[in-house]
Chains A and B, each alone.
Chain A
Amino acid sequence: MSGRSSPSGGSLAPYLQVAPLAFLMITMVGIPLLTVVLLSFWEFDGIAVYPAFTWANYKEVLSSPVTLSLFLSTLKYALMTLIATTVVGFTCSYFLVFHVRDLRVQIALFLLCTIPFWTSNVIRMVSWIPFLGREGLFNSLLMQAGIIDQPLDILLYSDFAVVLTYIHLFTLFMIVPIFNSMAKINPNLIEAARDAGASGWQILWGVIVPLSKTGIALGSIFVVTLVMGDFFVVRVMSGGQSASVVSAMKNNIDQLYYPVASAMAVLLIIVVLLMVTAILRVVDIRSELAR
C-alpha cells in the first residue's frame, strides 16, 4: 500500500467503491441529523409541527431548571462508569497482555471478554434483575451470611443498579482498545526498563500507562458516548426514579414534542462532541488508527 495509483484501477475506482457507503451515510446519518437540527427551530402548537424559525424551543430547554440537573446527572453517570470501566478494563488487559504467556490462551481469554458484545444489551440488562432484586440472589446471600437482617432496597432500581449495568455492558468497549494498544507494546521496552532498574510500578506508570493512552482514550470515547446516549438502562434499572438527557428526550418524543426533543438533542450532541474533542485533544487517535 504505497499510495501509488495503478492504471488498471483508474482514478474513478475509489469513488465507485465508496459510493454505497457514502450514499447510506449521507441519507441515514447526515441528512437525518440535519433534520433534527432543522426541527429544533420549528414551532409546535400542541398538536402539530410547523416550519418556522424560532429559538423558543432552545429557550424552553435552557430556561428549565430540569435541564441542568438532567445534564449533571447524565455526566455523573458517565464519569462514574468511565472510572470503573477504565480501572477494570486496564487491569484485565494488563493481565491478558503481560501475564498470560501463551498467545493462544491470551486470544481465547480476550474473545471470552468480547463475546457478550455480540449478544443483546437488553437481555444482559434484564439478567441483573434476578440477582439484585429484594428477593434476589445477592440479598439472600447477604442475609444467609448474617450480614444484614432486612433485604437491601438500594440494589435494584437505584443509581447503583444503573451504574452497575453500565459497567457490565460497556467494560468491553474499554478492554478491546486498551488490549490492542498494549499488545503493540514491544516486550523489549519492558526488558529495557527492567534492565535500567525500574520497579514493577515504575514500569507500569512510566512505560505501560503512557503507551496505552490511545486505547484508554478510544475506550473513553465509546463509554462516554454510550452512557450519554442511553435512555433505556437508566429508565428500567432506576425503576423510573432517575432520568438522563436522552430519557427526558424520549419522553418529549413520546408526547410528540418533536421540536423540543430536537433542541435537547442538538444540545446533547454539542456536549458529547465537546467531550470527544477534549479527549482527542489529549491523544491523537487518528495516527493510531492509521497504523
Chain B
Amino acid sequence: MTEQSRIDIRSVTKLYGAVRAVNDVDLTIDGGAYCCMIGPSGCGKTTLLRMIAGHETPTSGTISIGGEDMTTVRTGSRGTALMFQNYALFPHLSLTDNVAFSLRVNGVAASERRDKAREMLDRVQLLHLADRVPSELSGGQQQRVALARALITNPKVLLLDEPLSALDEFLRLRMRVELKRLQNQLGITFIHVTHTQPEAIALADQVVVMDHGVVEQAASPRTIYNRPHSPYVARFMGGQNVLTGTVQSAGAEGTVVESKDGNLYDLPPIEGAKPGDTANFSVRRDRIQISDTKGDGRNCTEGTVVNIEYQGTFVKLALETGTREEFIVYLDDDAYYAAPKAVGDKVHASWAPKVNHILVGANNSTGTPYED
C-alpha cells in the first residue's frame, strides 16, 4: 500500500494570469503518511491540493501518485478522493445516493451500490439516517457523509480541504481524533489542508508549511516546531521568539551574536558566517526563566511586562523589549504565582545557550503568527 500511495511533486508551478499561486514546488509525501499542508490563506496550499486531486492542471511540472505520472489524468480516475471544505453534498440525493454516487457513475448495479453505500454509512455510524437528505443533518454528520462518499472509491490518497473548519471547537477536537484513527486503519495517504497550527501538529506525520506559493519547510511536526527553518516558519507555527543580531565571532566551536541592546548569544556554528553578518535565531517560549536582577548579559533580554494571561497550565507573559515583536515567555503556573509580576514591571529573561536555534531560511515575513 505504501509505495502505490506515495506522491511525488516535481517542479510544479501554477499560474493564474501573472499570479504564481504555486511556484516551483518539489515535495515528496510518503505513502501512508498523514500530511498536513499549512499556511496563511492565499499561500497556495489549496491550489496544490486541487492539482493533486486533478481539479487544476499544473502550468508546468509533474505530479506522480505511486510512481505513475498523473499530471493530466482526469480527476476521478487517479486514485484520489477529495473531501470539500463545505462538503459539497448533493442536496437532491439521500445519504445512500450521495455515498453511492461514484459507484453510480461507474455503472455499478443499483442493488450492489446500495448495499456498499449502506455498509459505508454504517462504518461512519449514520446508517439510521440513510434515507435522509443532507439538509436534515448536523455539520458533524454532514462531514461524516462526505468522508463516506470519498472513501467508497477505495482511494489511494484522501485529500481533505480544511475538513474541520466548519465545525465548532468541541466537534473539531473529536473529529480530529476520528480522522487520525481512520487513517491508521486504512493505511492510505491523507493530505489535509488547514490553517490551524495545533491541528497540523496533532495530526500529521509530515507538516508542509507554505508561503507565497513556496514550500518553506516540510518535516515532522517535532522538527517544524522545534527547529523551524526560517523566521516565517517560527512565527507562523508559534511557540518561538524570533531574535535578530549581528555576528561578532564565528568559528567551529560556535557563533556569538550580539543584539542591538548589547546582549550576547551563544549559537551553534553557522556555516559560512563572518563577523558583521545578520543572524536570525529563535528561542522556545517555554524554555525561558525570568528574574528581577540582571544576569551576565549572555542569552538573555530585558523588557517591560505589557500583558499577563493565565492559560490554565501555564502563564503567558508578554514583554516589550524595544524590538518590533513582543517577547513571549511561558512560565509554569506554580513558579509564576510564587513571585507574580504586574504590568509595567521590568524583568530579565534568560535561557540556556542550547535553547538558541539558528533560523537558516531567509523568509522573514510575519505571516499570520499563531498565538495560543
Contacts and interface: CB of A to CB of B under 8 A. Distances in A.
Please say whether the chains A and B touch (CB closer than 8 A).
yes
Interface in A1-46: 4, 6-8
Interface string B72-107: 101100000000000000000000000000000000
A6 B56 contact: yes
B231 interface: no
Contacts of B55: 4, 6-7
Contacts of A7: 54-57, 72, 74-75
A287 B72 CA distance: 36
Chain A interface size range: under 10
B56 A8 contact: no
Contacts of B54: 7
Contacts of B57: 7
B286 to A, nearest CB: 40
Interface in A83-126: none
A4 B74 contact: no
Interface in A42-75: none
Nearest to B57: A7
A4 B56 contact: yes
Contacts of B56: 4, 6-7
Interface string B56-80: 1100000000000000101100000
B22 to A, nearest CB: 13
A7 B72 CA distance: 8
B119 to A, nearest CB: 29
Nearest to A5: B56
Contacts of B50: 4
A290 B55 CA distance: 25
Nearest to A6: B55
A2 to B, nearest CB: 10
Interface string A266-289: 000000000000000000000000
A8 B56 CA distance: 9
A187 to B, nearest CB: 23
B277 to A, nearest CB: 43
Nearest to A7: B57
A227 to B, nearest CB: 42
Interface of B: 16, 50, 54-57, 72, 74-75
15 contacts: A4-B16, A4-B50, A4-B55, A4-B56, A6-B55, A6-B56, A7-B54, A7-B55, A7-B56, A7-B57, A7-B72, A7-B74, A7-B75, A8-B74, A8-B75
Given A4-B50, A7-B56, 13 more contacts: A4-B16, A4-B55, A4-B56, A6-B55, A6-B56, A7-B54, A7-B55, A7-B57, A7-B72, A7-B74, A7-B75, A8-B74, A8-B75
9 nearest A-B pairs in the assembled complex, by CB-CB distance: A7-B57, A6-B55, A8-B74, A8-B75, A4-B56, A7-B54, A7-B56, A7-B72, A6-B56
